[in-house]
Amino acid sequence: MRKHWLDNIRWATVVLVVFYHVVWEYNAEGILGGLGKITSLETQWIDLLMYIVYPWFMPLLFIVSGISAKLYLEQHTDREFFKSRTTKLLVPSTIGVLVFGFVQGYLSMAIGGAFDSMAEVPPFVLYLIMCASGIGVLWYIQLLWVFSLVLLIIRKIEKDRLHNLCAKTNVAVLALFVVPVWGAAQIMNTPLIVVYRFGFYGIVFFLGYFVFSHDEVIERLKKWFPLFGAAALALCAAFCICYFGKNIADKPVNRTPLYAAFAWFACLSLLGGAARFFDFENAFTKWTNKRSWGLYVFHMIGISAVALYFGKTALLPPALTYVLSLIAGFAVGYGLNAIISRIPFFRWAILGIKKQRATAEKPRTNQEAAKDSNV
């Protein structure tokens, strides 16, 4: 039976990523990478959205990816998994970057004024720099491809013994997993590009595969959703009170026990809540889920373009700039997805799509959905 709640977590989280990036683009809290503050407000309260969602929304996607990997491997060989993950993950994050990454790279560099000091850089070198700068949100699938390779090695060793044992994971153990999650957050963090957190995101991916792929475990989360939900809300409030105004994307904040606890209990509550209340499909959820990957890949182009041409030049009032950025994020995300997915080479290189799907599709299993989706 198809797990529609997994699909709903996927598309809803990607939509939330768009909202997050609009706020991040103009944040006043020292989280680097965007244009920065464009309002005259002494305290930019809209920035609270980042503190509410940032610790948990990418860990949640990695958990969903771990579950999806298990669903796919139940019906496919390791070889097929490797081939599928290479097409869907490695190709867009390497070849796709060289083919299309310069677009986002140009916008990001122009926002930061990088071209002012690059007049003497040879065009080809400048192009490569723009491509590297345009990796952007694709860091997620780069990590996911690495984790997928490690998973294949682990499967050869454990031969489902560990996976079967994890079906017995009870509520107390689920809560106590916060300790190794916090511990993993301390290791394998790249020093400059702070999103590459191999320890933190790796452990939640493998917990998704070994623990949360079991229906028994999800049933326990559904039952205990009120408790985990209350814990997540309390930790959210504490996190915002303690760290609002500080850079939560880098150390020391993203290595703290409070950060890890908020991220973990938010994931537990959202997994249980989605499985309990959102295990359904309708025309809207089917449409959004089918296009969620394209929205994830392309949305920053729209947001960055508005930031460059309207936010940086102050042609519009700040409130309108925020609204236009949000509209552009969705319009460009869905629009480019509709265009690129129809162009043979580019849909493979940028989106990892080997063939254009037929207009009419048969109902798909979760295993088939896991093959088609990067998350």
**CA-based nearest residue to 74, from 272, 298, 369:** 369
- With 80 as the cut, is the pLDDT of residue 369 above it? no
Bigger pLDDT: 363 or 271? 271
* Strand spans (E) along the chain: none
- With 70 as the cut, is the pLDDT of residue 221 above it? yes
- With 70 as the cut, is the pLDDT of residue 33 above it? yes
CA gap 181, 27 in Å, rounded: 28
Three-state secondary-structure class, residue 197: strand
CA gap 89, 324 in Å, rounded: 30
Picking from 71-75, 200-204, 231-235, which range would have the lowest pLDDT averaged per residue? 71-75
**Is-contact 181 263, C-beta < 8 A?**
yes
Region for residue 183 given its phi and psi (left: phi exceeds 0; alpha: psi -120 to 50; beta: otherwise): alpha
Bigger pLDDT: 48 or 358? 48
CA gap 46, 28 in Å, rounded: 10
Report the DSSP beta bridge partners of residue 197.
189
* Cβ-based neighbours of 97, under 8 Å, separated by 6 or more: 131, 132, 134, 135, 138
Per-residue confidence band for 2, with pLDDT thresholds at 50, 70 and 90? confident
- With 70 as the cut, is the pLDDT of residue 370 above it? no
Per-residue confidence band for 366, with pLDDT thresholds at 50, 70 and 90? low
Picking from 121-130, 246-255, 366-375, which range would have the lowest pLDDT averaged per residue? 366-375
Give me the pLDDT at residue 371, please. 47
* Residue whose tokens read 């020292």: 30
CA gap 127, 337 in Å, rounded: 23
Give me the pLDDT at residue 306, please. 97
Query: How many CA atoms lie within 13 Å of 137's alpha carbon, on the beta-carbon side?
Result: 24
End-to-end CA distance of the chain: 19
| Cis peptide bond N-terminal to 252, omega within 30 | yes
pLDDT tens, position by position, 147-178: 999 999 999 999 999 999 999 999 999 999 99
Region for residue 364 given its phi and psi (left: phi exceeds 0; alpha: psi -120 to 50; beta: otherwise): beta
- With 80 as the cut, is the pLDDT of residue 375 above it? no
- Give the torsion sign (CA, 196, 176, 74, 355): negative
Q: What is the mean pLDDT of the chain?
A: 93
CA angle 282, 288, 289 (to 5 degrees): 85
Give me the pLDDT at residue 360, please. 41
Read off the pLDDT of each residue in 253-261 and give the average, rounded to a whole number: 97
pLDDT tens, position by position, 273-308: 999 999 999 999 999 999 999 999 999 999 999 999
**Is-contact 67 6, C-beta < 8 A?**
yes
**Is-contact 14 337, C-beta < 8 A?**
no
Give me the pLDDT at residue 191, please. 85
Give me the pLDDT at residue 193, please. 87
pTM here is 0.93
**Is-contact 209 201, C-beta < 8 A?**
no
Burial of residue 130 (CB within 10 Å: 0-12, 13-18, 19+) is buried
Report the DSSP beta bridge partners of residue 189.
197
Read off the pLDDT of each residue in 15-20 and give the average, rounded to a whole number: 97
- With 70 as the cut, is the pLDDT of residue 365 above it? no
Read off the pLDDT of each residue in 194-209 and give the average, rounded to a whole number: 96
